[in-house]
Amino acid sequence: MKELLIQILNFFGLACWIKITTENPRCTYYFGPFLTEKEARNNQQGYIDDLLEEGAKEIKTLIRRFKPTELTIFDELGELNDSLQRVKVSNQPSLNL
């Protein structure tokens, strides 16, 4: 019965989801759906632990009611911009005073 209620809530975008963003790699992950915010909060540490084991850095979480269209989003543009910034900085001419 609970699963059916979660499916109905999720259909209408009313189920709770955990949104986790990481900076390294630059990704957004969605975990859920959950019936309540409390249930999502009780499960979030397991997902954080898994990401930490995979080497993720700067983890931020948000729990809210909505319906994600993708469960994992890799921000390739952000990664590319970070790489370009490092190249620009490393190619700066040094000043010999």
Domain residue ranges in the chain: 2-90
Confidence (pLDDT) at 2: 93
CA gap 71, 82 in Å, rounded? 23
Confidence (pLDDT) at 76: 73
Query: Residue 93: which region, alpha, beta or left (left: phi > 0; alpha: psi -120 to 50)?
Result: beta
CA gap 37, 85 in Å, rounded? 39
Confidence (pLDDT) at 94: 47
Q: Are 39 and 46 within 8 A, CB to CB?
A: no
pTM of the model: 0.76
Residue-level pLDDT, tens digit, the chain, 97 residues: 999 999 999 999 999 999 999 998 999 999 999 999 999 999 999 999 999 999 999 999 999 999 999 999 998 765 555 555 555 544 555 455 4
